[in-house]
Structure 1
Amino acid sequence: MTVLRTPGGLSLRWRARSLAVGALGTLLVLTLAVLAVGGGDYPMSPADVLRTLTGEGSPAETFIVRELRLPRLATALGAGAALALAGAVVQSLLRNPLGSPDVLGITQGAATGALVVVVAGGSSLALSGAAVAGGVASGLLIRAVAGRHGLAGHRLVLVGIGVMAMLTGVNGWLLTRAPLMDAARAVLWLTGSLDGRGWAQAGPLLAVLAALTPVVLLGGRALSTIELGDDSATALGVPVSRVRQLLLGTAVLLAAAAAAAAGPVSFVALTAPHLARRLTRAPGPNLVASALTGAALLLAADLVAQRAIAGQQLPVGVVTGALGGAYLVWLLAAQRRAGRI
């Protein structure tokens, strides 16, 4: 760790490895972004993509890039970063490597809200709003069941798993009540998909991310202290209860906004913080590294989903589910070998 003291008495601390991981992560995200914008039925070279982004492309290229591919790219980057930040916050606050909005049932709550709109025949805008409302409502339900003193450790995870199981049953029943065509559209959304995403989905997600990311980053030091234990954090002057409730609420909003834009994409919130910690080898939540990792993961998964089967696009949630499920099995086995479960 390097410490720099300024003339004003402030001290700046950083780890060289964390800075390197952040720089490489940013470069990876930018590279994947150029490849994503250049791919598709109308392929474009990286030079053509950069030329179009600077306003020098043809009218057809400008339309394809700015109106069709950039919204999808923005949705993938925003959803990946939001899910990763939410997962990093939950894992740090619970001090549990299995904590994530997926496991706690937040994304299932968002799915329930969206399915209610599908059954009622609502618009896409209403679906997004209902998804956010459903995610927030499930978070409040988990909070109420867990109680004030249950917001830490395994109790909240167990309550979340119970709520997720309950909402899964509700979602299945709602699907049976929807018209056939609407049910097919809902199943695609429930898998997690970036198909057809426009600025109507990307814009609100990026706005929520821009508003809540500073809150999470400002709470980074408190998160690192809480990881030492509630008693130690309290002794160091951290208002543990208020910080936990504020940051858990922020994580719920981030996960709900991501689900509203891209559907309940699974396992990104779980795996991205783990990969970030392994890359940086630094204690604490590694918030910036987690956000970059989540954005890169979802964007890479979308590229695989578009190219894995010739002539057919898979929902991005299929790719993240397959890779994330394998990672979860490995993580459980590792935790068992270490005697932690």
Structure 2
Amino acid sequence: MTRTPAHTTTSITTTTTAGPRGFLTIGHTVALPVRRRSVVVALVTVALILPAAVATLTLGRLGIPLADLPDALTGGARGTNAFVLERLRGPRLAVGIGTGAALGLSGALFQSVTRNPLGSPDVIGLGAGAGAGAAIVALLLPGTVPVPVGALAGALLAMALVYVSTGSGFRDPGRLVVAGIGVAAIATAVIQYVVYAVERDRAAVLTAYVNGSLAARDWDHAATIWLILLVVAPLTALIARRLDIGEMGDEIAAGLGAEPRTTKTLAVLLSIVLSAGAVGVAGPIAFIALTAPQTAKRLTRGSGPHLTLSALVGAVSLVLADLCAQQLPLFEGLPVGIYTMAIGGVYLGYLLIREWRKGVL
């Protein structure tokens, strides 16, 4: 008797106006929604990350000479090149890619659940809440609780406050924005209290942290965010198809067996873990979670959460912003979060105006 070996297949099951669409199946459990245009855009995004990474490692006074980079990356770095790769820019780059991916994926999950382009961890105060939790743990309770745990606790509390204060969960965009602003203000007040409650030198360190920074990161920070991604990413893959079906509405999703309530709960929890992990290693870097999923959606011109592409767009966005923070003379040395806040604030204003014109707000 001959057994047919199990194998992984990719097939196109439906066709939409956004182009051919199907599912990449892995075994009998995971089915990832795939569009040809999405694959092309993802490959282009990866291609953008590579030169940005090379520029991060090579540009500037302490940059590794381009001719020496291949040798350095294969273990042949010596002297200054080894110091830059192993202590300065290598960890910074790894943390930047991982944090950007985590924020992009977090935003995509949350926006898919709320079906709201304003439903971002930034807008509803999760980033600020996570920052407050991390600040309390790091400076008032040093060594007692890991910083990422404090960030997670702060994010959960912020989400709970927003959910209760809107009176309608995450469904109403106007209430969501107002409640998020209030929760963010409370979290910011907590952070400011912590700043003034500790001695001045530690407060200066916190000031850079709460704006979101990739400076002075090490391999432990990189390991933390990549471990979170490795744990959470497979779980998001398990619910990717359900999230895609959920875009058609809860009643249809329930009829198709997508279990919308369970899927939404899991997606929100995963989003919070990703956001809190990012804050734990780099501080509350603003608006990557808001803009990356929207950028991914516009690039693919299709519906759906676009989880993988959102993560890639988030990674390349943060790496490019950090490259500007390192190399632009006028703003050299500023925390990368200031760059993302400036760009994201403009985009948030655009979204608010658009939603208002549509009569949603």
* TM-score of the pair, normalised by structure 2: 0.85
The question of whether the paired residues in 2 share the 8 Å contact of 1:118 and 1:127 is answered with yes
Instruction: Work out whether residues 136 and 253 of structure 1, in 8 Å CA contact, stay in contact via their aligned partners in 2.
Output: no
1:2 and 1:13 in contact (8 A); partners too: no
Other-structure match for 1:261: 281
Paired residue for 1:52, among 48, 72, 84?
72
User: What SS does the corresponding residue of 1:197 show, helix, strand or coil?
Assistant: coil
**Secondary structure of 1:241's partner?**
helix
8 Å contact kept, 2:137–2:145 = no
Q: 1:222 to 1:146 in 2, by over 3 A?
A: farther
Q: CA deviation at 1:58?
A: 3.0
The one-letter code sitting in structure 2 at the alignment partner of 1:287 is: L
SS of the residue corresponding to residue 55 of structure 1 reads: helix
Deviation string 1:51-101 (CA, Å, 9 cap, x unpaired) is 211223334323321332111111101110000101011111101110111
| Aligned-residue offset at 1:126 | 4.0
Q: Is the 8 A contact 2:148 2:276 kept in 1?
A: no
Q: Which residue of 2 aligns with 1:41?
A: 61
What is the CA–CA distance in structure 2 between the aligned matches of 1:35 and 1:229, rounded to whole Å? 44
| Corresponding residue of 1:308 | 328
AA partner of residue 294 (structure 1): G
2:116 aligned residue: 96
3-state secondary structure, aligned to 1:150: coil
Task: Write the mapping of 1:52-201 to structure 2, written as runs, cut at 5 A.
Answer: 52-120=72-140, 122=142, 126-142=146-162, 150-154=169-173, 159-201=179-221
Contact (CA 8 Å) 2:133, 2:150: kept in 1 or not?
yes
Q: CA deviation at 1:20?
A: 1.0
Aligned residue number for residue 245 of structure 2: 225
Aligned letter for 2:357?
A: R
- Rounded to whole Å, the distance in 2 between the matches of 1:210 and 1:117 is 25
Sort the Cα spacing of 1:244 and 1:307 in 2 relative to 1 into closer, same or farther, 3 A: same
Residue 3 (structure 1) shift: 6.3
Alignment deviations for residues 104-139 of structure 1 (CA, whole Å, 9 cap, x no partner): 221112111222235426259844442233223433
The 3-state SS of whatever aligns with 1:265 is: coil
Please say if 1:27 is aligned against 2:27: no
Secondary structure of residue in 2 paired with 1:102: coil
1:279 aligns with 2:299: yes
The equivalent residue for 2:231 is: 211
1: distance between equivalents of 2:185 and 2:231?
31
> Are residues 226 and 156 of structure 1, via their aligned partners in 2, closer, same or farther at CA, if it must alter by over 3 Å?
farther
The answer for unaligned runs of 5 or more in structure 2 is 1-18
| Cross-structure match for 2:5 | none
Give the gaps of 5 or more residues in structure 1.
none
Could you tell me which residue of structure 2 aligns to residue 17 of structure 1? Answer: 37
Match of residue 13 from structure 2? none
Rounded to whole Å, the distance in 2 between the matches of 1:4 and 1:334 is 31
Q: Which amino acid aligns with 1:178?
A: V
The range that moved more, 315-324 or 151-160, is: 151-160
Shift of 1:159: 4.3
SS in 2 for 1:266: coil
The separation in 1 between residues aligned to 2:162 and 2:170, in whole angstroms, is 9
Please tell me whether the aligned partners of residues 152 and 272 of structure 2 are also in contact (alpha carbons under 8 angstroms): no
Q: Deviations over 1:135-170 (max 9, x none)?
A: 2343355456668x7354446555444432322222
Partner SS, residue 247 of structure 1: helix
CA distance in 1, matches of 2:224, 2:33: 34
In 1, are the aligned partners of 2:33 and 2:240 still within 8 Å (CA)?
A: no
Q: Which secondary structure state, in structure 1, belongs to the residue aligned with residue 123 of structure 2?
A: helix
Q: Which one has the bigger helix percentage?
A: 1
The change in CA–CA distance for 1:40 and 1:123 in structure 2 (over 3 A counts) is farther
Question: Do the aligned residues in 2 keep the contact of 1:119 with 1:177 (CA within 8 Å)?
Answer: no
